Amino acid sequence: MIGFLRLAMIPVFLIIALSSRDGRSTPAAVIFAVVGWADYLDGFTARLTGQFSRLGALLDPVIDRMLVVAGMIVVWDFDLLPRLALAIVIARELLMLVLSEMSLRRGVDIKINWLGRIGVAPTMGSPFFAMVGVHWLALILLYVGMTLALSSTAVYVQHGARELRKLSSSA
C-alpha cells in the first residue's frame, strides 16, 4: 500500500514543482521528501509486519528510480544543477530500469549492492536541496550520488554478466 501511495504522489510532485515560478516550491519539496522517506517506512513496515511480496520487491526500486528521474527533471527544467551531471544520472536510472527488466526476463535475480543502497540518499537529496535553495549541498550530493550510482552500475553489470554465463552454461 505504501508503495502505491508513493507512486501516486510522483505525478502530484511533478505538477506542483513544474508549475512553480522557479522550481523552488516548498509543497513540491515536501512531497518529494515524503515520497523519498516513505521508502524507508515501507521497508521498516514490511520487516516489522513480515509482509513481503514479490510485487513490492519489484516495485520499490522502480518507484525510487521514477522519483529520482522526476526530481532531476524538475531541477533540469529550472536549471538548478549542472545539466550534464543530471543527464548522466537520468541516463543511469533509465539504463537500470531496462537492465532490470531484461534480467528478470532471463531469470537473473539482481540483488541490491551496498554502493547502490548508499547512493540512493545523496542522489535523492540532491534535487531536494536544489529545490529548497541549498545549492552547495545539492551539488555535493549530486556528484557523490552520481559516483556511487555509476560504481554500483558497474557492479550490477558484472554480476548480471556472471549470472547469465552460469545460466547459459547450465542450459
Tell me what pLDDT residue 39 has: 77
Task: Give the whole-angstrom CA distance, residue 148 versus residue 153.
Answer: 9
Does domain 2-170 fall under CATH 1.25.40.390? My reply is no
Percent share of the chain, pLDDT over 70: 94
Return the domain boundaries, the chain: 2-170
pLDDT digits (tens, 9 = 90+) for 58-92: 788 889 999 999 999 999 999 999 999 999 999 99
